[in-house]
Structure 1
Amino acid sequence: MRSTKTTNAIGLAWGARTAGAVLMLCALGLIAWNERRVMDYSAAVSRHGAPVLDLGGAGRPAAGQYGSTTRVSGLPQVVDAPRDNEFNVRSNTPVLVRHVEMFQWREITVAGSTHYEMDWVDRPIDATGFAKPAGHVNPGAFPIQGRQFEAGEVRLGNFRLATEIVRDFPGRVDVPVDEKSLPANLSATFTAHDGALVTSSKPDRPRLGDLRVSWEAIPLQDMTVLARIDGDTLVPGTPAQPGDAGFDVQVGERSLLDVLPALPEPPAAVSVVRGGAYLLAILGAFLLACGGRFRRDALFAVGVGVVVVSAVAGAMWLAGDAMTASVWLLFAVLGAGLAIWRVQQRTARAAH
């Protein structure tokens, strides 16, 4: 007859194995649930067009990213600042804009009453169309034109930005002028006044035909850009609908959901859940081995646990993403190698 001690040992071994089987089933259920929600999220994102990568400010151009849409954020870096050579004005900005205005006659009609006044206007006004052109003739074409100067290269994070994206940067700030930096042929004509250059001999009392030249720049501030990856450059993507620019620019650090509110919420704690599934499977394998040749063999349990979890996850990804599936199956092979190595070691010891 079996002793009470032997019976208790057998009972404990079966209890451990039962607990191990339950833990193994929990691990498989957990990894299956986790990978299913990751796959559902990837499918939902793909319905928005190209894959969306959330690279933030630390992302770098890498193989396999071409054509993907990404969110990149940070403070833009101007590599080659724009310069207005004609006036020798330079600013560390993505875009420098020269504004030219002329003091001209304007016709204003209010409630059927027409009157005329002179003001700064950024385009030539044709006085021949006035109701009373006599005495209100304007000079005509501007001798100096307004222009826009763009930086040779602007980077956000580790990506260059296409010109179309840079032009869409919001905000404008005045660029102060330095009368002393003017070329010799213009210093005798222009005088600094209220942040601009004017041709008026008496800036407070401009006369017909006087010019006023000023500059504006896009300020350097934290930006978030959603655009398509083309090598090391962010470029506009294919418009989703008429009127869509194919990219988005927002001021400040914005999350992917801020920029694309239609996207589903990404699954939380994906890596933590995967780690939990591995731990449950390893503990389950350790308990299942109680009473057998591999009892108290932690390395064998690690190998078996990794094989089971990785194989299930890899099989789930096979139909949707071969690359992800291959990574999971690689872990399964590594786990199998560890388990087989422990089996061989045990067999060799038993032979001696």
Structure 2
Amino acid sequence: MSGSDDDTIRITPDGGDGDSFTSTTSQSWFSRIGGALMGLLFALLLLPGSGWLLFWNEGRAVQTARSLTEGAGIVRSVPAERPDATNEGKLVHVSGPVRMTQLPFDADFDVKPPNGTLRLARIVEMYQWVEENHSETRTRMGGGTETVTTSTYRREWREGRVDSSRFRQPNGHENPQPRQSSRNFFAQGVTLGGFRIAESQLSAIPAAEPLTPANGEATRYVGNDANNPRVGDLRISWRYAHPETVSVIGAQVGDGFGPYATNAGDRLLILRAGSLPAAAMFQQAQDDNKLLTWILRAVGVVLMFIGWSLLLAPLKVLADVIPPLGAVVGFGTMALAGVLTFLAAPVIIAVAWLFYRPLVGIAILAAGMALAYGITRLRRRRPQVEKPA
């Protein structure tokens, strides 16, 4: 038995720029039990998957750190003027001014960036419908639920297209396909001294500087009235990157660059805007690796918490036959899911450290045991204060 829509009610329009709808759906206790059991099956996949992500992430972080350390130890900085054939296949660092034979060009709008531009980015925003949903669920006696969802629709400028077919109320809120799309354009024939830089490698340079085309319009408007936009109208702007110098670390391949395969397992190819020493580029890459490691750790912990929550969800549904009891059990299952997550996740990370970094892992484990032992000894030696008779 599945949930069903009891009614759909339209609320007052939102000042002419949007509207809101409410829908009330009910779900029986038996339907909720079925959904909770399906969630339990999903949890049996999510829990080992999140554990694998945490374990794999530690190995990935170690491999990347070792590869960068290896690269920093063998890289050689070479002059940019002319590739030396004796460096073929070796890890080299080259830095200097860049040249190109042809600037990037947006032919659709006849937009040309200033001289020295390596990358031109077109950003296309469309005026379109967006949906926001806010739901409130009430548990009824007997374990069934009633959910009141308010869907608010308004028009905004958004890059890309919001899929209006997934809206709860798609009628009257249809978003057309945009007539133009965001796109990147790259300079041709880019050289760093005597070295060539491939077009695919230029995407590593961010286009962050706003461009004002020659006609003085920083933003192009595609539509009838910019002061009164309609759904489907476009707002187009450009950004560009024109570094005077570029620094590259990679394998010398002929008169160009390619990924360098390290013994640790990674393939190194680093390109940055500006004149940077090799040590600074490797340090920045190490910092990026640490940031990514913490992001993936957070993702793994959140997925594990969701998995434990789904695994314990049937207990709350069973207790919801009496709503106050279900609220207490629900709070308890969420707390238990948090405890299990913060017990299991650090253990998995610690095991990964023992597997990938046995010496460091053993040292940390020994330090933790010594700290725990020291605290215990101090507590035993603390003088007991005699209580007055």
> Aligned residue for 1:172?
208
Once the two structures are superposed, residues 58-103 of structure 1 have per-residue CA deviations (whole angstroms, 9 ceiling, x without a partner) of: 4421221211211111232232211122221122421222222211
> Aligned residue for 1:157?
193
- In our comparison, the structure showing a higher alpha carbon Rg is 1
CA contact (8 A) 1:102 1:122 kept: yes
Distance change >3 Å, CA 79–CA 245, structure 1 → 2: farther
Secondary structure of 1:79 counterpart: coil
Distance change >3 Å, CA 240–CA 151, structure 1 → 2: farther
Secondary structure of 1:117 counterpart: strand
How many pairs align? 202
The correspondence for 2:162, drawn from 112, 118, 125, is 125
2-structure distance, mates of 1:116, 1:149: 35
Deviation at 1:54, TM superposition (A): 0.7
Question: Between the two proteins, what is the percent identity of the paired residues?
Answer: 27
Residues 52-71 of structure 1: pairs in structure 2 closer than 5 A = 52-56=75-79, 58-71=80-93
Once the two structures are superposed, residues 179-209 of structure 1 have per-residue CA deviations (whole angstroms, 9 ceiling, x without a partner) of: 49xxxxxxxxxxx4xx111123332331111
Q: Which moved more, 1:45-54 or 1:127-136?
A: 45-54
CA contact (8 A) 1:162 1:235 kept: no
Secondary structure of 2:260 counterpart: coil
> Aligned residue for 1:104?
128
2-structure distance, mates of 1:173, 1:84: 16
The correspondence for 1:217, drawn from 208, 230, 240, is 240
> Aligned residue for 1:88?
110
2-structure distance, mates of 1:166, 1:237: 17
Consecutive unaligned residues in structure 1, runs of 5 or more = 1-44, 181-191, 263-352
Residue 228 (1) aligns with residue 264 (2): no
Deviation at 1:224, TM superposition (A): 1.8
Distance change >3 Å, CA 163–CA 237, structure 1 → 2: farther
The structure 1 segments of at least 4 consecutive aligned residues displaced by more than 3 Å after TM superposition are 45-51, 110-113, 239-242
The letter for the 1-side match of 2:271 is V
Once the two structures are superposed, residues 15-44 of structure 1 have per-residue CA deviations (whole angstroms, 9 ceiling, x without a partner) of: xxxxxxxxxxxxxxxxxxxxxxxxxxxxxx
1-structure distance, mates of 2:178, 2:153: 21
> Aligned residue for 2:94?
72
CA contact (8 A) 1:197 1:214 kept: yes
The correspondence for 1:255, drawn from 258, 277, 294, is 277
The letter for the 2-side match of 1:137 is E
Secondary structure of 1:75 counterpart: strand
Distance change >3 Å, CA 89–CA 47, structure 1 → 2: closer
The correspondence for 1:196, drawn from 211, 219, 229, is 219
1-structure distance, mates of 2:263, 2:111: 40
Secondary structure of 1:115 counterpart: strand
2-structure distance, mates of 1:152, 1:234: 16
Give the TM-score normalised by the residue count of structure 1.
Answer: 0.50
Deviation at 1:48, TM superposition (A): 4.4
CA contact (8 A) 1:227 1:234 kept: yes
Residues 1-352 of structure 1: pairs in structure 2 closer than 5 A = 48=71, 52-56=75-79, 58-91=80-113, 92=115, 93-110=117-134, 113-138=150-175, 140-179=176-215, 192=217, 195-238=218-261, 244=266, 246-260=268-282
CA contact (8 A) 2:251 2:260 kept: yes
CA contact (8 A) 2:71 2:262 kept: no
1-structure distance, mates of 2:212, 2:133: 36
Consecutive unaligned residues in structure 2, runs of 5 or more = 1-67, 137-149, 285-389
Once the two structures are superposed, residues 274-312 of structure 1 have per-residue CA deviations (whole angstroms, 9 ceiling, x without a partner) of: xxxxxxxxxxxxxxxxxxxxxxxxxxxxxxxxxxxxxxx
Deviation at 1:218, TM superposition (A): 1.9
Please give the root-mean-square deviation of Cα atoms over the aligned residues, in Å.
3.1
Secondary structure of 1:223 counterpart: strand
Secondary structure of 1:167 counterpart: helix
2-structure distance, mates of 1:137, 1:259: 47
1-structure distance, mates of 2:255, 2:125: 40
Distance change >3 Å, CA 245–CA 216, structure 1 → 2: farther
Deviation at 1:226, TM superposition (A): 0.6
CA contact (8 A) 1:106 1:117 kept: yes
Deviation at 1:171, TM superposition (A): 4.4
